[in-house]
Chain A
Amino acid sequence: MHNEASARLMQGNEACAEGAIAAGLRFFAGYPITPSTEIAEELAQLLPRVGGAFIQMEDEVASISAVIGASLAGAKSMTATSGPGFSLMQEGIGFAACTEAPCVIVDVQRMGPSTGLPTSPAQGDVMQARWGTHGDHPVVALCPSSVAETFTLTIEAFNISERWRVPVILLMDEIVAHMREKVAVPDVGDLRVVARPRPAVGPDEYLPYAAGGDLVPPMADFGTGYRYHVTGLLHDETGFPTTKRAEVDALIRRLHAKMEKARAHVTFVDEFMTDDAEVAVFAYGITARASARAVRDARARGIKAGLVKARTLWPFPDEVVRKVAVKVRAIVVPEMNMGQLVGEVERASAGMAKVLSLTRVDSEPITPDEILAGLKEV
């Protein structure tokens, strides 16, 4: 599938932009913010070449709004930002979740809170990705740990968003975003690119929010004669506002049940040396790279360690963690935050394994030695 001729040295942000184009991106709206800006700069170059549209909006609120508008008009759409901009986008992300408008939101995490340390890496937006917007809502968050993964996960982000009509957040971090690595760029024909489900019926019979067995309503684009209504108010199958308890309940429950249908298709977790492991590391993003090294170092010292590397953070891969927790005596969770996903690991492991949180918030990445020390401790 890959050939060396197509290997390129790329920056993480560049790989995100290239992956988006490969996935069929045709509309990008964004606002400059470190450390995500190269994504916008790259797409300002690339999008017009494929006939797509690029616009730098007046702020991040406008950016996510324009992205949703373009998506409703049929364009695969994306924005990219970092912490402060991600905060501003939360209302729009909720609108996308409520209206089931496909869109990809890239958050290149930097240290917060507030303006924080704009050029320093962090993993502090994990819970915001899940719960940043108000109300009960489904969301998908993917997290690459390398430049090559950034390319492939960006494509997956679009595929998931279009297939399941859900906003997908690509949670990068400053290190992955600014690192340069080799990426084997697949031929276009080798890529799996997914389109949103389309209505099989004509405008007269179309119910824009009536879903079939997969719980995903087929989506007509604006401008194709279906003339339907989209609102962030809770709505019935016709798309119009409702306050009827049964209809409101049905919408919220379908949005969540849809994600359960999607779960197996959107869960990407890699396991290394977990078969005979007695202790495990659960990690994501750049921290997973240091964790892989720590696991190898532990093995060299006779500690039977393994790694669970999550590329999908939301929905949280409960089942994978549970299966590992059954086998091991302890799970070490290194994070560049004060401990965000560790709570999910504890919940999923349900007391079957001891869980140790390793945190680092001094703007430096967690080292393999720190993780190794954790593995020795448990």
Chain B
Amino acid sequence: MAMPITHYLRIDKMPHIWCPGCGHGIVLGSVLRAIDSLGLDKNEVCVVSGIGCASRAPGYLDFDTLHTTHGRAIAFATGIKMAKPWMKVIVLTGDGDAAAIGGNHLIHAARRNIGIATVCFNNSIYGMTSGQYSPMTPAGSLASTAPYGHIEEPFDLCELVYAAGASYVARGTAYHALLLSKLVARAIATDGFSFVEAVTQCPTYFGRRNRMRSAVDMLKWQKEHAVPLAAAARMSPEELSGKFRIGELGVRTRPEYTRRHAAIIETAQRREAESDA
């Protein structure tokens, strides 16, 4: 069953644009292994992105791929999913793209519970524009637009998306790449809106400014600060302070939007047939 990862890549589009040490390649590898584990036909998958480093990922993938405007990937994906509900629509986005400029689309897609799997590459910074703070930059961090230290608290994106109504939310890291792959596979298989926050590293624009000079430093940080759910359940709030949970954070069954819309079509057509009769 398992295909080599290159089966899903447009090898001729390499080399990619990501910096040395960037975690996006690891996250993308996890996404592709997830797709492979589900045995999806390449022709049934559509990958959509917005603007930013993470959003350049679809260009390297051998599916129908759409690189849209900043923040709007989920809105574009909504149109694709409604036009072709049988397609597996996957959004690859970054923390700025998904949580700042695209935050409204994110929560409304979750509320509708439309069958789109969203993977947010969260590197805590705007990398493409060289290091401005994002809605996921931790307070106290340094960024090019926070030279005296960042004074805003980040979202808990998973809690936000689950509260908005998604069927599935999970968090993984580039360090825990195998777990991440399983989470993304579950997300893609979800009948409804699903969201995976993939914590990843940007040594170039986040790490260097924040006492983590190398990718290895940042991966170690992920290893030391990510707490699997089972372990977190045994820890006190004090012990969990400054750390973050990884794993499946929210799973529930709710009707998927395009299925509900299909029922609307049936209703409308039945009523019209009845009024004609």
CB-contact partner of A227 in B43, B67, B80, B272, under 8 A: B43
Check A222/B64 contact, CB under 8 A, given A51-B269, A69-B83. yes
CB-contact partner of A230 in B62, B65, B108, B261, under 8 A: B65
Which residues of B have CB within 8 Å of A347?
A: none
Which residues of A have CB within 8 Å of B189?
A: none
Q: Does B265 contact A (CB under 8 A)?
A: yes
Interface size on A, residues (CB 8 A): 45
Check A26/B83 contact, CB under 8 A, given A222-B46, A222-B64. yes
Q: B80-95 interface mask toward A, CB cutoff 8 Å, 1 = contact, 0 = none?
A: 1011101100000000
How many angstroms between the C-alpha atoms of A28 and B163 in the bound complex? 28
Q: Does B58 contact A (CB under 8 A)?
A: yes
Nearest chain-A residue to B79 (Cβ)?
A69
Which residues of A have CB within 8 Å of B72?
A: 61-62, 65, 92
How many angstroms between the C-alpha atoms of A241 and B58 in the bound complex? 12
A227 to B42, Cβ gap below 8 A?
A: yes
Which residues of B have CB within 8 Å of A48?
A: 261, 264-265, 267-269
Q: Does A29 contact B (CB under 8 A)?
A: yes
Residues 51-88 (chain A) with a chain B CB within 8 angstroms: 51-53, 55, 57-59, 61-63, 65-75, 77
Q: Does B188 contact A (CB under 8 A)?
A: no
Q: Does B177 contact A (CB under 8 A)?
A: no
Q: Does B234 contact A (CB under 8 A)?
A: no
How many angstroms between the C-alpha atoms of A231 and B76 in the bound complex? 12
B82 to A72, Cβ gap below 8 A?
A: no
CB-contact partner of B87 in A52, A53, A59, A73, under 8 A: A73
B268 to A58, Cβ gap below 8 A?
A: no
Which residues of B have CB within 8 Å of A27?
A: 79, 82-83
How many angstroms between the C-alpha atoms of A356 and B147 in the bound complex? 57
Interface size on B, residues (CB 8 A): 38
Q: Is the interface of B mostly helix, strand, loop or mixed?
A: helix
Which residues of A have CB within 8 Å of B105?
A: 58, 62, 65
Which residues of A have CB within 8 Å of B82?
A: 27, 53, 55, 66, 70
Which of B13, B58, B68, B75 lies at the interface centre, i.e. has the most chain A CB atoms within 10 A of its CB?
B75
Check A231/B104 contact, CB under 8 A, given A49-B272, A51-B269, A62-B75. no
Which residues of A have CB within 8 Å of B59?
A: 229, 231, 240-241
B80 to A57, Cβ gap below 8 A?
A: no
Which residues of A have CB within 8 Å of B130?
A: none
Check A223/B79 contact, CB under 8 A, given A91-B69, A95-B69. no
Check A66/B75 contact, CB under 8 A, given A27-B82, A223-B87, A227-B63. yes
Residues 227-277 (chain B) with a chain A CB within 8 angstroms: 261, 264-265, 267-269, 272
- A75 vs chain B, min Cβ distance (A): 4
Q: A18-56 interface mask toward B, CB cutoff 8 Å, 1 = contact, 0 = none?
A: 000000001101000000000000000100110111010
A66 to B76, Cβ gap below 8 A?
A: yes
Nearest chain-B residue to A51 (Cβ)?
B265
Which residues of B have CB within 8 Å of A229?
A: 58-59, 65-67
How many angstroms between the C-alpha atoms of A48 and B273 in the bound complex? 13
Which residues of B have CB within 8 Å of A226?
A: 64
Check A74/B83 contact, CB under 8 A, given A48-B264, A48-B269. yes
How many angstroms between the C-alpha atoms of A45 and B261 in the bound complex? 13
Q: Does A118 contact B (CB under 8 A)?
A: no
- A241 vs chain B, min Cβ distance (A): 7
Q: A230-243 interface mask toward B, CB cutoff 8 Å, 1 = contact, 0 = none?
A: 11110000001100
Check A73/B79 contact, CB under 8 A, given A223-B46, A229-B58, A241-B59. yes
Q: Does A225 contact B (CB under 8 A)?
A: yes
Which residues of A have CB within 8 Å of B261?
A: 48, 53, 55
Check A73/B83 contact, CB under 8 A, given A48-B267, A57-B75, A57-B78. yes
Q: Does B44 contact A (CB under 8 A)?
A: yes
Which of B59, B67, B104 lies at the interface centre, i.e. has the most chain A CB atoms within 10 A of its CB?
B67
Q: Does A228 contact B (CB under 8 A)?
A: yes
Q: Does B34 contact A (CB under 8 A)?
A: no
CB-contact partner of B80 in A52, A62, A69, under 8 A: A69
A232 to B269, Cβ gap below 8 A?
A: no
Q: Does B48 contact A (CB under 8 A)?
A: yes
23 contacts between A and B (CB under 8 A): A48-B261, A48-B267, A55-B82, A57-B78, A61-B72, A61-B75, A65-B78, A70-B80, A70-B83, A73-B87, A77-B79, A77-B83, A91-B69, A95-B68, A222-B80, A222-B84, A222-B87, A223-B43, A223-B87, A225-B43, A229-B59, A230-B67, A233-B67
Seen from chain B, the residues whose Cβ lies within 8 Å of a Cβ on chain A are 13, 42-44, 46, 48, 58-59, 62-69, 72, 75-80, 82-84, 86-87, 104-105, 108, 261, 264-265, 267-269, 272
In the complex, the 9 A-B pairs of residues with the closest C-beta atoms, listed nearest first: A69-B79, A48-B268, A70-B79, A65-B75, A66-B79, A73-B83, A69-B76, A231-B67, A62-B75
